[in-house]
Amino acid sequence: MSKKTPVAVYPGSFDPLHLGHVDIVRRALTIFPNVVVAVLENTDKLPLFSPAQRVELIRDTFAGMSGVEATSFSGLLVDFMRQRQARIILRGMRAVSDFEYEFQIALMNRRLWVEAEHVFLTPNEEYTYLSSRVIREVWRLGGDVTGLVPEPVNRALKRLPR
Ligand code: ADP
């Protein structure tokens, strides 16, 4: 296999997907023909949405936009990447505060799989303050997150008991 692959994998919790994530995917599509949004099936005991629901919401959000695929994975990201024959890991960089963590994980991924390459994109500045954690907190306290999350996520949140 050529080491150049047209697929970038965008891993994360996406609980829930918000417009900062969407912005990163849109930007990535100007560089890579295919972006796989990969939901980490982590052990968070109180998720808002199950991994399967998150995948569905990502699919609904990007329906009609070619080149975007949503799936979930468990275990090591690099194992998932190998299996998908993809070596580009896409991550968002909101601010300097993201840097240390991202740098640490990137170096670990590369230690685990020397072919892993990371691409960091920055969102439009209007999204830099967004995180899934903040969305969850605002929603749990009864706040309106319209305009911060894609419409399919907003609709799903409105149906969810708080
Ligand atoms: P969050 O940090 O929102 O809880 P995730 O763990 O799902 O979310 O994040 C997945 C990826 O998306 C990470 O690389 C993270 O830095 C990036 N990301 C999260 N929020 C934003 C944002 N507002 N703008 C750009 N990238 C973001």
Gap between the Cα atoms of 134 and 136, Å rounded? 5
- Pick the atom of ligand 1 nearest to 122's CA: 25
**Tens of pLDDT along 48-61?**
999 999 999 999 99
Contact 14, 54 (CB under 8 A): yes
The encoded tokens of residue 158 equal: 């409105």
Given this model, what pLDDT does residue 45 score? 77
Cβ 130 under 6 angstroms from ligand 1: yes
Given this model, what pLDDT does residue 2 score? 58
Gap between the Cα atoms of 109 and 116, Å rounded? 7
**Tens of pLDDT along 95-123?**
999 999 999 999 999 999 999 999 999 99
Mean pLDDT, contiguous 10-residue spans, the chain (162 residues): 80 98 98 97 86 98 96 98 96 94 98 98 97 97 97 97 88
Given this model, what pLDDT does residue 44 score? 75
The encoded tokens of residue 145 equal: 């997150």
Query: What is the CB neighbour count within 10 angstroms for residue 104?
Result: 10
Instruction: Report which protein residue has its CA nearest ligand 1's atom 26.
Output: 92
Given this model, what pLDDT does residue 42 score? 79
Q: Ligand 1 pocket test: which of 40, 48, 131, 133 has the largest number of ligand atoms within 8 Å of its C-beta?
A: 131
Contact 48, 139 (CB under 8 A): yes
Gap between the Cα atoms of 10 and 21, Å rounded? 9
